[in-house]
Amino acid sequence: MLLIQNGYMIDPKSGREGKLDILTEGARILRIGKGLEKPEGCEVIDAEGLLAAPGLVDVHVHFRDPGFPEKEDISTGAAAAARGGFTTVVMMANTKPPIDNPGTLACVLEKGRGTGIHVLSCANVTAGMQGKELTAMEELAEAGAAGFTDDGVPLLDEGLVRRAMERTAKLDTVISFHEEDPGLIDNNGINRGKASEFFGIGGSPREAEIRLVERDLKLALETGAKINIQHISTRESVKLVRRARAQNSNIHAEATPHHFTLTESAAIQYGSLAKMNPPLREEEDRLAIIRGLVDGTIDIIATDHAPHTAQEKERPITEAPSGIIGLETALALGITQLVERGYLTMGQLLRLMSTNPANLYRLDAGYLAEGGPADIILIDSAAEFVPEGYVSKSSNTPFTGWRLRGKVVKTIAGGVVLP
């Protein structure tokens, strides 16, 4: 048993908050209340001055396993997640081999079970991520796929996308989309504008995202599929999602901390450490994403945690891979950029980072209640820290050296206090 005393609890699902004790037994919460007595032999954590919140849920991470263990593996990725306050993660399927069959899916899920947190995985939409033939979605869902995505590779065949949506609608599961039309892009990862001009390259125009977002929202409305527009980056896309969500609540969208914090000027300043797909855009896009988070158009914050080695990121800007790590800085960026600046309350931020993503995947996570999961984090929301010395195998992020506010003090998953 574990008793957390004197903390200020926030449950973003019910809206309940206040100075409350939390008593856990095994993997569940036994009681929540004021002045709970300590059972004999119970471990006690004094959370005076700390926030007690549900463990965070990230539905968009790349743990590079199988295929790229030098960047990350499931064990180190899960450790980075725990350091950042995430007790549940959903891995993307663009591994090598890709997660397009029940055997590979079973392998990664088995590795996840040994990490201490809840590690789930999507499966691929198409065989081999080739965009030509749908996977055996029914078999993969039966084998435990949390949802479906070819994230990293946009789906270009409209007929295939429609069929995929029809099948996921029947399975009542989620299909997520990486929205970039490669036919419009010359040198991806850098916005076509000031940043591409600085590097003397073609870059990625905003139309590359807008075109596919528009197509997939239309298909979702026609098929009734539950979809997630991943890592949204343009103001036009936010507007399109806002209009579609007013017609169908099965449409969801996610924003990353780097897209609500940075603009293309960061790519000029940090080079490949701020290169990602889709790229950082303009200030008006950043503000539109924040407005989307505030009004519920964008209902999920996800990291798109994408580890790469230092050697890879040291290549020329057109050769370096896209992506940054994000699990260990996400909550602090949310507090620093959104809560401290008055855009969101702490409860609203936690809802975007726990309750909403859990609801999208129908996970028993993202809330604090008697009988609920003992996935709890303790946060010192006033503490400042400078990111460095990452638990992840990789350190490819522009946020190293920043002064951020809000530090995860303890992460508890399934009633177990993690290292």
* Active-site annotation holder among 100, 151, 285, 304: 304
* Nearest 10 degrees: Cα torsion 242, 337, 82, 18: -90
CA 266/CA 274 separation, integer angstroms: 6
Write down how long the chain is. 419
Q: Residue 235: which of 252, 218, 260 has the closest Cα?
A: 260
Q: Alpha-carbon distance 367 to 358, whole Å?
A: 9
* Structural tokens at position 191: 């916005």
For residue 89, the one-letter residue type is: V
The angle formed by the CA atoms of residues 77, 119 and 300, to the nearest 5 degrees, is 90
Question: Has 181 been annotated as catalytic?
Answer: no
> Side chain identity at 112, as an amino acid letter?
G
Backbone dihedral region for residue 276 (phi beyond 0: left; psi -120 to 50: alpha; all else: beta)? beta
Separation CA 334–CA 51 (nearest Å): 15
CA angle, 123 then 91 then 400, to 5°: 150
Question: Residues 317, 275: contact at Cβ < 8 Å?
Answer: yes
The tokens for 46 are 């004094």
CA 346 to chain centre: 18
Encode burial over 356-380: b for 16+ CB neighbours within 10 A, e otherwise: bbbbbbebebbbbeeebbbbbbbbb
Which residues carry out catalysis? 304
